[in-house]
Structure 1
Amino acid sequence: MAHDGGEVPVASRGNTIWGSDAMAETLRALGIRYVALNPGASYRGLHDSLVNHLGNADPKMLLCLHENVAVAVAHGFAKACGERMGVILHSNVGLLNGSMALFNAWCDRVPMLVLGATGPVDAAKRRPWIDWIHTVQDQGALIRHFVKWDAQPASIPAATEALLRADRVARTAPEAPTYVNLDAALQEAPLAEMPPRPDASRFAPPPPAVPAPDAVTQAVAMLRAATRPVLLFGRMSRSPRDWARRVALAEALSASVVSEFKVGASFPTAHPLHAGPPSMALAPQAAEALKQADLIVSFDMLDLAGMLKTAGASAKVINVSLDHLLHNGFGGEHMGLPPQDLHLACLPDIALHAIADAMGVEAGTLPGEDGPSCPDRLPPEAPLDVQSFTRAVGMGLAGERACIVRLPLSWDTTAWRFTHPMDFLGFDGGGGIGSGPGMLVGAALALRGGDRLPVAVIGDGDTLMGVQAFWTAVHYGIPLLCIVSNNRSFFNDEMHQERVAIQRGRPVENRWIGQRIAGPDIDLAAMARAQGAVGIGPVTTVGDAAVAIRDGAAQARAGGVVLVDVRVTPGYGADMAAVTRG
């Protein structure tokens, strides 16, 4: 299958140099490999430069059918390989369309270089009507609260500097998206000569900060004095070396470990030191370990304050995180303010290695490459509920070296084992429905050509809002497997309506009204086929689901884009029931 979507431009014969040519040259100098976009006239100059000046290579354009998909593709790409992608959003309308996915990426702390464009800032240069409604006085203000930095340069030298700065800021820990808004008139202005291409190596991010030696000494002393330490592993790296050192440190300390389902695999979940499953809410075993602990070391845990409060923990706390550098007054994604007796302001794995070095802990054994597993098996004729669906997926993927890009809220984490940092990439950050398909495509792009099969298990609501992402995957030859947990409902909201009805003494039987996606049922497999993908299903039993998933995995391994529609009875595991019922 072609990897270029058939998009090979004819040779350009023009010899005039344009402002957008200089912008495109800067993107190439930065090493941006891809830019995901949905077309718009506000950046027609840059679009032309990417195609006719650079030849649609380095960066290569990825056409997406919605701006939310474009941002989600870059989000998934960063989660899978740690590299930022470029995204281009058309004027104010495209930026508004993509803002939900951008908020997800902000909450998930992933790097991304987002380019925008506005109608000519000089009103005398605006075309009637359309340039006026697509021009905003301060376009960056629409998203300023959930990007790390933004700019609207007014000259070519300023645009070059803004792109260099935006890329450096996005890739400096703690990482997050940045935004540069490019004036349409500036893009389309002719230049007398091409400015020198910047040496991007001179504008690279600084090396990661290391913890102060005195702070490491203090952390080691606290760990050696503890009798019941607990290690919390949150936003950690995907490096197998880092994973091995985490295991070695936990074993050297005989410390209980709690990992975070929302941000992906960070510790082997079947390890005897792992306290309970890595669920959306705090598992009872993890809560008990925290309550009994005399020292808690949090390595960039997503909601440390919430965990301590839920468990009733009173231990001393070492907090390893840089996240405080992104906290602002707009939202609550910084979570509660945790107590801390020692704060190491650096990346979590850097602190972990420094502590392990000081304690004489060995490097550990690198994890195997077998992929995630579900050891349980069920009779083929069993119907599909939350628990049996998880096992059916395990049966279908048995023996596969998969990278699970996303999992649904209803996933039964008690039956699933992660043994490698690439086994699971985590959630979407901001809880915005519709990101799953795009994130799967982006992660699959990052993994293309490797030995990991990109797989996402997502809900039907998520699929319906982002299903057009699969066209991009087919068009550019990005193999993947999407398994839809199709309960024909926005079931999380059904649970909330049930809770309100119980509180008010009203009939819970009405919870489904305005929530169920039925009458008529939607043929998700047909929606996939309409975009050129392989659509399988619907299937309704464990055996049929396992066979369909196994067949889908084989087709994806052969280069296909595959969606399997699995009809599941609505429900949640015990951990999510606790979240939705409060």
Structure 2
Amino acid sequence: MPDRIDPPPAAAPRSAARALVQQLVANGVDHVFTVPGESFLPVLDALSESGITVTVCRQEGGVAMMADAYGKATGRPGICIVTRGPGAANAAAGLHIAQQDSTPMILFVGQVERGQRDRDAFQEMDYRAAFGSIAKWATEIDVAARLPEYVSRAFHTATSGRPGPVVVALPKDMLKETITSPLARPCQPVEAAPGQGELDRLAALLGEARRPLLLLGGSRWSEQAYRDVRHFVESFDLPVATSYRRLPLFDPLHPAYAGDLGLAANPKLVARTKAADLLILLGGRLGEIASQGYDLLGIPNPATRLVHIHPGPEEIGRVYVPHLGINAAPTRMAKALAGLPAPAERPWREETRAGHADYLAWSETETPQPGELNLGSVMLHLRQELPEDAVICNGAGNYAAWIHRFYRFRRLATHIAPTSGSMGYGVPAAVAIKRLHPQRVVVSVNGDGDFLMNGQEFATAVQYDLPIICIVCDNASYGTIRMHQEREFPGRVSGTDLRNPDFALYSRAFGGFGATVERSGDFPAALRAARESGRPAIIHLKISTDAILPGTSLSAIREKALASR
């Protein structure tokens, strides 16, 4: 019989707010992102002597996006604390990102006093109802003595299976109560592993395949898993691709890499995926973007043999009925794959080489673009000049197509961007990553409309002396919407034009470095000056509105749409 584990003794009396912060410390929390609110003043007071780094932001949307970026970069829950009502509503955008991107996050929200609930009290909100559909768990702590239990469950829920966000509401009067409840032991996420029978079936499927493809995606990866997958790929000489905005999961210069399935994906990779007779999907969900509008595989029964490996069992069979489903975290599955014996015959070798050659041809040379400033040239220069551990952060917009196509992410967690396609993400994400890694180069790439959705967090970068580099791609338009507009209503522009500020002057107004670039040849000097300034910087790129995608112009899209009518 194992030794009996006695329960821990009651802790010293302290406020529930102090117990909350102690529980955060016990779980290894080192960063918290917040906009201060009167509803959780006792928590702010407890944080002041906790040793946790607190980043005070300018808007709760930025707060939640910073927490999401932290979760993406570390695999640990990003912690954010916002006030009730309007503060919580502002944070919803970041919460939605964490849900769609499978990012661990815990959002603590102030709440009205328990005795005032259901009166529509000042800034009152029903958080279970408001966030129940976009959080893995939304709850409210009514009994102060149970706070350690609730916080422990929040950590376990955020990190287990398919990771995601948790919302915990904190009634104002509850935080002031004195409790003696012991702290819960630190959370240890469960890592599901494949069974030997499943590995044997996978090996048999590989032995029968002629055109296999490994597709990497999702979260819950680690440096060891990154290396284990590389070992597996090299042993089997297997072609490998990455899912939408999961480019850092495999080295793009490895001879087995075939590219990424995202927006404006290489048509040759899309064709190769459709032609595969065995698709091994490891970690990801193959959502709408990666599946090219759910066009790659039949639903619910894929035409090709699909092996779906995912840490959340509820995701297996949710959209696609796999030939083989394996409930396993990428860390455990990668380790198992590294131990699989390679088959003597690998008839797909030439296909692996061809896939990499197609990727290199797709990403090597900039495409023609209207105007004097080519974003392809900008990305190729960044690729050449930035160190391998530099981190690129971006939000949403057609400008990101140039990042996906031309930039090369050589290390894990060096691209921090929302798969949910949420705008306004690049600046707060860059702030969070620079707080986490102050010695690394952090570049935020943004569209013009994209930047101004959370550009106020540039002030946070200045406040904390974080020399991030923000590139603003200004085409005076909501470009993605304008592109769709030209396809559906050619020549009828409505609601997509923008009149923008001088973004370089905007930077200088905050105390940062600013530069404006109108020609490709002037970008290297601007980047060098921004890095040498040692200050948060904005490089304002003036781009033709007609330059909408690599190798494609708005005018060409319009002409094609008119010709088809």
Does structure 2 conserve the Cα–Cα contact (< 8 Å) formed by 1:457 and 1:483? yes
- Cα distance in 2 for partners of 1:144, 1:283 equals 38
What displacement does 1:341 show? 0.4
Query: Aligned to 1:352, what secondary structure does the other structure show?
Result: helix
Task: Look up the match of 1:441.
Answer: 431
Question: One-letter code of the match for 2:550?
Answer: G
Q: Which has the higher contact order (CA 8 A, sep 6+)?
A: 1
Change (3 A) 1:561 1:238: farther
TM-superposed deviation, 1:469: 1.2
Partner of 1:430: 420
Once the 2 structures are TM-superposed, how far is the Cα of residue 215 of structure 1 from its aligned partner? Answer: 0.6
Deviation at residue 292 of structure 1 after TM alignment: 2.5
Report if the CA contact (8 A) 1:290-1:311 is conserved: no
Q: Which residue does the alignment assign to 1:7? A: none
Distance 1:315 1:145 in 2: 33
Q: Label 1:322 to 1:553 Cα distance change in 2 as closer, same or farther (>3 A).
A: same
- 1:276-327 Cα offsets, whole Å, 9 max, x none, are 4554244222122223322110112342683573378732111111345379
Whole-Å Cα distance in 2 between the matches of residues 399 and 446 of structure 1? 17
Q: Distance in 2 between matches of 1:219 and 1:400?
A: 34
Mapping 1:444-455, distance limit 5 Å: 444-449=434-439, 452-455=440-443
Instruction: For 1:99-138, list aligned pairs within 5 A.
Output: 99-123=92-116, 132-136=121-125, 138=126
Structure 1 residue 433, shift from structure 2 partner: 1.4
Alignment CA distance shift 1:416-1:93 (3 Å) = closer
Change in CA separation of 1:572 and 1:321 when aligned onto 2, cut-off 3 Å: same
Aligned partner letter, 2:69: G
Q: Alignment RMSD, CA only?
A: 3.3
**Alignment-mate amino acid for residue 433 of structure 1:** M
Per-residue CA distance 1:205-241 (angstroms, 9 max, x = gap): 3430101111111111111221211111112566443
Q: Secondary structure at the match of 2:415?
A: coil
Contact 2:383 2:408 in 1 (8 A): no
Change in CA separation of 1:297 and 1:66 when aligned onto 2, cut-off 3 Å: same
- Aligned residue pairs, count: 518
Could you tell me which residue of structure 2 aligns to residue 529 of structure 1?
508
CA distance in 1, matches of 2:180, 2:168: 19
- Give % identity: 22
- For 1:73, the equivalent position in structure 2 comes to 66
AA of the residue aligned to 1:195? T
Deviations 1:11-61 (A, max 9, x none): xxxx9954423333333333322221112222223223333xxx2x33332
* Aligned counterpart for 1:550 among listed residues 512, 528, 531: 528
Is residue 2:196 matched to residue 1:223? no
Amino acid at match of 1:388: S
Unaligned runs of 5+ in 1: 1-14, 328-333, 362-373, 502-507
Work out whether residues 455 and 482 of structure 1, in 8 Å CA contact, stay in contact via their aligned partners in 2. yes
The one-character-per-residue Cα deviations of 1:515-569 (angstroms, maximum 9, x if unpaired) are 1212xx31122222333332x22211112112111222333xx4x3222111122
For the Cα contact (< 8 Å) 1:384–1:568, is it kept in 2? yes
Offset of residue 86 of structure 1: 1.6
- Do the aligned partners of residues 530 and 325 (structure 1) sit closer, same or farther apart at CA in structure 2, a change above 3 Å counting? farther
- Aligned equivalents of 2:532 and 2:412: distance in 1? 23
Q: Give structure 2 stretches of 5+ with no counterpart.
A: 1-11, 344-362
CA offsets 1:448-472 (integer angstroms, 9 cap, x no match)? 24xx311121211121111111222
Distance in structure 2 (CA, Å) of the matches to 1:251 and 1:22 = 49
Q: Does the Cα contact within 8 Å between 1:119 and 1:183 map onto a contact in 2? A: yes
* Partners of 1:423 and 1:159 in 2: CA distance: 35
What SS does the aligned partner of 2:76 have? coil
| Equivalence for 1:316 | 305
Matched, 1:494 2:482: yes
What TM-score do the two structures reach when normalised by structure 1?
Answer: 0.81
Task: Tell me by how many angstroms 1:432 deviates.
Answer: 2.0
Confirm or deny: 8 A CA contact 2:210 2:277 kept in the other structure: yes
d(CA) in 2 for partners of 1:278, 1:149: 31
- Deviation digits for residues 472-507 of structure 1 (CA, Å, limit 9, x no counterpart): 222223332221222221111101211221xxxxxx
**Partner residue, 1:567:** 542
Deviation at 1:420, TM superposition (A): 2.4
SS at match of 1:468: helix
Contact 1:258 1:278 in 2 (8 A): yes
Distance 1:423 1:180, change over 3 A: closer
* 1:331 alignment partner in structure 2: none
**Is residue 351 of structure 1 aligned with residue 333 of structure 2?**
yes
